[in-house]
């Protein structure tokens, strides 16, 4: 799945992999899940991002087969923090902890930056901000897991390892996070999308 944010001049986003139940999934199932994710984001996470950033799209693609079944939510859920943050290439990094050795650093999910009041310095989040984001993220995951509909059953994020182009699905191992960490230092949004 991909999340897309808009800051008034350009789009940028982040990706995650989820296991949402037992495939195959109908488009209506994926639309239900995308809408539930957007609603859960609006309830639990907008308070941690600056108001100059809005979640405008969640796009889901079923990777369990080659049919390309997709789900989509579009709308606008703006952050509720102040606008006092200058650069949209900065990001809050939500780090997944998995129960296996991981070379090259743990997987990270990027969300838009907070307002300046959430920072201890120009690059670091305050401890109270990190605690709040972690609680909001866990509430977001809990809300999404409660999504009903069709083949959806206890959807949850996973970390995929072992993927190689052309490899069979059996070559990919899915690891469920055993915990989450909010990095103290701001990261950067690496996936910049052109405005459409």
Taking 60 as the threshold, does the pLDDT of residue 195 lie above it?
Answer: no
Residues of the chain with pLDDT > 70, as a percent, come to: 89
Comparing 162 with 86, which gets the higher pLDDT? 162
pLDDT tens, 32-45? 999 999 999 999 99
Split at pLDDT 50, 70, 90, the class of 196 is very low
Provide φ and ψ at 185, rounded to 5°.
-90, 135
Q: What is the mean pLDDT of the chain?
A: 85
152: containing domain: 2-193
Cβ contacts of residue 135 below 8 Å, gap of 6+? none
Domain count, the chain: 1
Lowest mean per-residue pLDDT among 17-31, 36-50, 164-178: 164-178
User: 127-145 and 27-44 helices cross at what angle (nearest 10)?
Assistant: 150
Comparing 56 with 146, which gets the higher pLDDT? 56
pLDDT tens, 61-84? 988 878 889 999 999 999 887 766
């Amino acid at each position: 799945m991909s999340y897309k944010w808009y800051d008034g001049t350009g789009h940028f986003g982040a990706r995650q992999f989820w296991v949402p139940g037992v495939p195959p999934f109908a488009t209506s199932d994926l639309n239900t899940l995308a809408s539930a994710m957007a609603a859960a984001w609006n309830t639990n996470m907008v308070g941690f991002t600056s108001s100059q950033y809005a979640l405008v799209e969640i796009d889901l693609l079923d990777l369990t087969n080659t049919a390309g079944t997709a789900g989509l939510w579009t709308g606008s859920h703006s952050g509720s923090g102040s606008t006092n943050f200058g650069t949209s290439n900065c990001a809050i990094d939500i780090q997944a902890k998995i129960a296996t050795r991981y070379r090259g650093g743990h997987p990270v999910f990027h969300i838009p930056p907070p307002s300046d009041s959430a920072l201890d310095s120009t690059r670091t989040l305050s401890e109270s901000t990190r605690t709040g984001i972690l609680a909001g993220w866990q509430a977001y995951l809990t809300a999404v897991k409660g999504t009903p509909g069709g083949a959806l059953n206890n959807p949850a994020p996973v970390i995929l390892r072992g993927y190689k182009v052309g490899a069979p699905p059996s070559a990919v191992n899915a690891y469920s996070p055993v915990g989450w960490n909010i990095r103290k230092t701001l990261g950067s949004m690496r996936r910049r999308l052109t405005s459409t």
